[in-house]
Amino acid sequence: MKRGYQESSSSGSFGPPQSKSKYNPEGDAQFLEDESTKIFARKVADHYSSRTNQTLEEREASPIIHLKKLNNWIKSVLIQLYTKKGDAVLDLACGKGGDLIKWDKAKIGYYVGIDIADGSIEDCRTRYNGDADHHQRRKKFSVPARLISGDCFEVRLDKVLSDDAQFDICSCQFAMHYSWSTEARARQALANVSALLRPGGIFIGTMPDGNVIVKKLREGFTLSYADAVDCPEWIVPFHVFKSMAEEYGLELIFVKNAHAFVDEYLKKPEFIELMRRLGALGDGKDDQSTLLPDEWDAAYLYLAFVLRKRGQPDQTQVSIRRDKESEEANPSGRETSEVHCLRLSLKPPVLLA
């Protein structure tokens, strides 16, 4: 049996378990083929593909630049807390590769990034190769990488990544809630994480805090920004997310609202220095700019979570170091990351035509 998937006792078929709360006699595939789901997924893909790369100067001029820097700090802290040198990383909804430099600094051994937006994957490949003019300050990345264009909340990734698994770390930053358009997609997302993580592997992520958002909506709270996401998004009740994750062998280590996260980890010297370098609160010297009150309110709408796959890693085996494998397979070095397209495995190929 493939890792992370349960076998149905009634049909003998493999796949995510049927919903306990909603009977679906035609199977989860019926949810996945729902026309409205395909339309929403297409909108998300088109939105992120259409977002143009910004120069450093344009990025600094964003009206929510300090919120973006705070989000980067939270992601960086998560990566530093749970990543070890040589780890194999699966980055779901990797976007344009904005976290590549974070993973590179963590000295990981192998990276696979997947995103639904074709344009984002191409931008990620350009960034990886060091060819983007607007990122001229950044070096070419040396960690072996594979980039894939496809819907990681619809496709069974254990089939596509059978030669790459198992991973030490899975990351999904500010994107897991996109899988909650249907129960089947939410289950497929968690099944993919479970199937591809090794026992004891870590799943880190950030997403909207459903409890806070519902509370704010009841209070009549509204907030909008220029330069923000403009596509369909879903509220995730975290207690439901936690319960569903447990069905796939993923146990909660912690969940913290962004405000609580900042309060806890900004007390640690190494993360104070990281915050200073990223500039979300200024640099404490010449740059006195900081989060606006509305930006801090917006940060409250998000949370960070860490899950762990049940089981213990096999201590008798040496962890796979795919950078060495790549070097042996290609002594001259990788000039480009390997780009594949998951849309070829979809039936029918509707999301990324």
pLDDT digits (tens, 9 = 90+) for 230-253: 667 889 999 999 999 999 999 999
Pairwise CA distance, residues 183 & 34, whole Å = 12
User: Would you place residue 113 in the very low, low, confident or very high pLDDT band (cuts 50, 70, 90)?
Assistant: very high
| Whole-number average pLDDT of the chain | 77
HSE-up of 102 (CA within 13 Å, CB side)?
23
Strands laid side by side in the 250-257 sheet: 250-257, 302-309, 197-208, 167-173, 88-92, 110-115, 145-149, 338-341
H or E element in which residue 73 lies: helix 65-82
Residue 275 pLDDT more than 70?
A: yes
pLDDT tens digits for 19-69?
333 333 333 443 444 556 555 555 554 544 555 565 656 666 677 888 999
Residue 11 pLDDT more than 60?
A: no
Pairwise CA distance, residues 245 & 165, whole Å = 19
Residue 72 pLDDT more than 80?
A: yes
Task: Output the pLDDT for position 221.
Answer: 81
Q: Which of 27-36, 159-168, 204-213, 255-264 has the lowest mean pLDDT?
A: 27-36
Task: Output the pLDDT for position 286.
Answer: 57
Residue 148 pLDDT more than 90?
A: yes
CA-to-CA separations, 149 to 155, 162, 179, 343, in angstroms, rounded: 11, 17, 16, 7
| Contact (CB, 8 A) for 44 and 230 | no
- Quote the percentage of the chain above a pLDDT of 70: 64
Task: Output the pLDDT for position 233.
Answer: 85
Pairwise CA distance, residues 341 & 244, whole Å = 29
Pairwise CA distance, residues 95 & 119, whole Å = 9
Number of other CB atoms surrounding residue 286 within 10 Å: 6
Task: Output the pLDDT for position 140.
Answer: 77
Q: Three-state SS string across 269-286, please?
A: HHHHHHHHHHCECECCCC
Q: Which of 131-145, 163-177, 264-278 has the lowest mean pLDDT?
A: 131-145
Comparison of pLDDT for 118 and 319, the residue scoring more: 118
Binding residues for mRNA: 71-72
Task: Output the pLDDT for position 141.
Answer: 87
DSSP letter string, 283-308:
-SSS------HHHHHHHTTEEEEEEE
Task: Output the pLDDT for position 213.
Answer: 92
Binding residues: 71-72, 75, 93, 115, 151, 173, 178
Residue type, 123: D
Domains of the chain plus CATH, in order, are 30-345 (3.40.50.150)
Lookup: tokens for 330? 């290609």
Task: Output the pLDDT for position 259.
Answer: 96
Lookup: tokens for 256? 């913290």
DSSP letter string, 206-275:
EEE-HHHHHHHHHTT-----TTS--S------HHHHHHHHHHTTEEEEEEEEHHHHHHHHTTSHHHHHHH
Task: Output the pLDDT for position 313.
Answer: 79
Comparison of pLDDT for 145 and 327, the residue scoring more: 145
Q: What is the mean pLDDT of residues 268-280?
A: 90
Task: Output the pLDDT for position 139.
Answer: 64
Binding residues for S-adenosyl-L-methionine: 75, 93, 115, 151, 173, 178
